Each structure stands twice: as C-alpha cells, then as structure tokens.
Amino acid sequence: MNVFDPLSLPNGSVIPNRIAKAAMEENMADAHHAPSAQLMRLYEAWAEGGAGLLITGNVMVDSRAMTGPGGVVLENDRHLDAFRQWARIGRSHGAQCWLQINHPGRQMRANLGQPTWAPSAVPLALGSMSKHFATPHAMTQAVIEDVIERFARTAQLAERAGFTGVEIHAAHGYLLSQFLSPLSNRRTDRWGGSLANRARLLLDVVKAVRAVVSPQFAVAVKLNSADFQRGGFSADDARGVVQWLNELDVDLVELSGGSYEAPAMQGDARDGRTLAREAYFVEFARDIRKIATMPVMVTGGIRRHAIAQQVVASGVDMVGIGTALAIDPTLPRAWRAGRDAAPALAPIAWKNKSLASLANMAAVKFQLQRLSVGKRTDPNVSPLRALIVQQVAEAARTRRYRRWITQSRQAKN
C-alpha cells in the first residue's frame, strides 16, 4: 500500500490519497466567529498542497464553550455563506474537507468569562497553570442533552455548507474525552462508572449526528489511544470504544493521544509501545486496525515520507500530519515529486512541560499566521518569541470575544 493510493470509505466516497492535513487550532475566526479571510487563505495553501483530506481545526458547537478566543463557531446558519466559501476552497483541488466539531468542557480558559461544564467538578491539574482554568460545574441531564443536540446541529449545518464530512473530537482532554476518562468523570449515574457508561455520550453524539446527515456524508471520530495518566483512559478502554463504534456508521477513526495535562500529542509523554521520534501512536493504531471495521488514521509526529509510507504499509489506512504541514503546506506534492522534505520545528527542552507545550503550540500557530498572510514560514522561530506573540494576540482576541458574546446575549434579549 502506498500513501498516494486512494482510500474508499464505508460511505462509498473516496479520499484521493492517504495523507490528511490533521486538525490544528488556527484561532482565525473573524469578528463574528465565522471563518475569516485569513483562514480562507490558509486553507487555499493546504488545498493546493496535495493532501487527500483536510480536517479543519476546532469548530465549536456552542459559542459559550470555546477552546480558544479566536475559535470558529457553527451553531446556526447566520454565517453559512462564509462556511460555504471555506468548504469550496478546501475541496478546490480534489481533497475531501471535513469540519472537526468540538466542545472543550473544562479545557476552557477562565478569562473568557463563561461558566465551564464537565462531567464532574474536577479542575485541571496543571500546576501553576491551573489558575487559568476554572473548576467546572458537573453537567446536568439537560446540559448533556443540549450538547448532543448541538453536535448534531453543527454537523447538519456542515453538510449544508458543502463539507464532505465531520470529525467528532473525542481526544486531547476535551469534553467527550473527559467523559471517557475515569479521572475527570466521577459520576455515579448512567453517564459515569463503567466504560459503557463513560462512552455513552460519545456514542450518543455519533448516533445523533448520523441521524441528521446523509449516508454519503462522512462521520469520523478522533480518539485517544490513551491519555497517559495513571488511572485514566487506557489503551484497553480505547479498544473497547472502537468495538462499539464498529456497530455505528463511522467512516474513520483517527488515533492520537494526550491532553492538556499530559501533552503526548506533542511527543512529551509516550508509552513504551510507540516509536521513539515519529508516528508516536502507530503501534497502537496497528493493534486497533485488527479490530476496527472502519479505516484507521494515526496522527502525531509524522514528517518524513519514509515514515508515512512505513505506517501505511503496516496496515494503517491514513496518516495525519499537523506540524509538518504548518511549516510546509506543499509537503505531499514534494513527496510525490520525489523530494525527501522533512519539515520540523526547533526542539523545546524547557523543564516546565506545560509551558513547553504552550510554546510548541504557539510555534505552530506562528507558522499558520504567516501562511495566512502569504508569508514564508519560519520553523526556527524562538519558542519564547512565538509564545509572547501568541499571548499578546490571544489577549486581544479574548477581549473581542467577551464583547461579542455580550452583544450576542443582548441581541437575544
């Protein structure tokens, strides 16, 4: 099997090759939290770059629940024309384009001024960084039902806008992942306790989404291989969840790992089963492929053609690439032309892992920002510089978000 072979999905559609632009949080919404002109330019670069699948960064199902202050929100059809343009650009060179839909749960910064919801009132454990996140409220049955409806509504709108699928984000410590983990989910009702109960919300969201979209519209799930915390969501738990997803109309499962508390998706925490430097979760993906009835994609650290080819040759269906495509959006075309490009950021060896994780994300966003205005990327950017630039920009976006959410409430009253 070759990375440039097409992949047929269970819904009958075809992805033209097995390289996916994995989701990265761009934080490039416009003043109305719709896709901005900068975001369009960024996706034009990726569409021209040759990946077979583009998965967008987080798109929020609820404007009151944001992974970041510059996040895109799709909860009604008010700005659907902008989403239609985004979808057209993403698909303009033959790729499929999926909207990643998400709810942050407790992983929402306190300075956004919104109440934080989670399965249980368990705060994030981030050391000195914990103060930036409020202790969440335990979700009521009504709030849970509202979240399910919101995921379905956003998926329905995504199809209307012309996207070819959605990816339901149940990894990296966000809300659906919080329900899966016994560390953050300490409920004693039907939504907590056993793995079947902890997986109920994810499975109900998948069912609700599938019920409102057409059969040919792709529904994918992003799942942690593990959250790399003692007593948390385990590899065995992930296998169990995939077996339940087998029974639903899921077109692809993407495997990643980690959370804010244990940022394994950046290679800072890995179990002994993973490759040392690239394709952090590939061995687990191979195991899952044996039981999964849908295609399996693995994301985390891949930046070389030889590694991507090795992953696909081993039986994993797709490779998701994030950081390398933030540095060089033309990477798939380079590989197809025989060039052995392997873009990478300068390593960050800070002792504070949480701060290093933030700096890594800031360095990625620094590249995205440059691409969005037509500039060359700078993979050697100082992590400290990138972090300062990101913090200044985030402060401005936070103020703008707070004004916007206040105005939105006043307009409803």
CB 229 within 8 A of CB 271: no
- Nearest CA to 72 out of 15, 157, 142 is that of 157
**pLDDT per position in the chain (413 positions), as tens?**
899 999 999 999 999 999 999 999 999 999 999 999 999 999 999 999 999 999 999 999 999 999 999 999 999 999 999 999 999 999 999 999 999 999 999 999 999 999 999 999 999 988 888 899 999 999 999 999 999 999 999 999 999 999 999 999 999 999 999 999 999 999 999 999 999 999 999 999 999 999 999 999 999 999 988 666 667 788 899 999 999 999 999 999 999 876 776 655 444 433 333 343 455 688 888 899 999 999 999 988 899 999 999 999 999 999 999 999 999 999 999 999 999 999 999 889 898 877 888 899 999 999 999 999 999 999 999 999 999 999 999 999 999 999 999 998 888 76
Residue pair 215/258 in contact (Cβ under 8 Å)? The answer is no
pLDDT reported for residue 301: 86
Distance CA 40, CA 22 (A): 16
Query: Half-sphere exposure of 377 toward its Cβ, with a 13 Å CA cutoff?
Result: 24
Does domain 7-412 match CATH 3.20.20.70? Answer: yes
Q: What's the pLDDT at 279?
A: 57
> Given the structure tokens 């916007």, which residue do they identify?
404
Report the interhelical angle of 235-246 vs 200-212 (nearest 10°): 30
Q: Which residues contact 18 (CB under 8 A, 6 or more apart)?
A: 1, 2, 3, 4, 5, 7, 52, 312, 317, 318, 319
264: which residues sit within 8 A by CB, 6+ positions away? 226, 227, 228, 257, 258, 270, 280, 300
Q: Could you tell me the sign of the dihedral formed by the alpha carbons of 294, 259, 54, 211, in that order?
A: positive
Contact 6, 308 (CB under 8 A): no
Residue 190 tokens read as 């039907």
Q: Is the dihedral of CA 177, 108, 347, 303 positive or negative?
A: positive
Contact 167, 221 (CB under 8 A): yes
Q: Are 362 and 390 in contact (CB under 8 A)?
A: yes
For the chain, the structural domain boundaries read: 7-412
Q: Model's pTM, two decimal places?
A: 0.94
Q: What is the DSSP letter of 273?
A: T
Write out the H or E segment, with its range, that includes residue 343. none
Helix axes 37-49, 353-372, angle to 10 degrees: 90
How much is the pLDDT for 265? Answer: 46
The pLDDT value given to residue 262 = 63
Q: In what helix (H) or strand (E) does residue 403 lie, and over which residues does it extend?
A: helix 383-412
Burial of 267 (0-12, 13-18, 19+ CB in 10 A): buried
Query: What is the crossing angle of helices 383-412 and 353-372, to 10°?
Result: 80
